[in-house]
Amino acid sequence: MTLQVNQPAPDFELFDQEGKRHRLRDYRGERVLLYFYPKDDTPGCTTEACNFRDDFSAYREAGVTILGVSPDSQESHAKFSGKYQLPFTLLADPDHRVCEAYGVWGTKKMFGKEYEGVFRTTYLINPEGQIEEVFEKVKPDEHSQQVLEVLGIR
């Protein structure tokens, strides 16, 4: 079950594509867009990431820090980030503990087969560490625009 608006965002500690440690509490005082995605360099995930990249200056101007999270490794994130010149941080959650804490890990179905994976979900977290907005069942090609609209930017 995903977390709800006004709940405290669970703290976490994960490593990024460069091996740097990130804790959510280190971002207190900032608005954070924490987006969970299934897998690096797949069509939907690439579309979503590149749209965030293309709109990055608007997020920066609005004072929003973007953090992407998937179960992929730091090395995979580094390749993905480099290939598409992503200007934001990607966090590796290989044991999917953070995905589980945020309620975005579970049983999925594709072509009649069930498997465990990430539900594409985004949380907007306010400077006090509370969940401000939840975006579920995200459509990769529309998501960045959707977030910018909620932020009052577009």
Phi, psi at residue 24, to the nearest 5°? -60, -40
The answer to whether 50 is a known catalytic residue is: no
Write down the catalytic residue from 34, 45, 124, 131: 45
Strands, E assignment, the chain? 13-16, 21-23, 31-36, 64-70, 89-92, 105-110, 113-118, 121-125, 131-135
Q: In this structure, are residues 22 and 13 in contact, taking their beta carbons and an 8 Å threshold?
A: yes
CA Rg value for the chain: 14
Active-site positions read 45
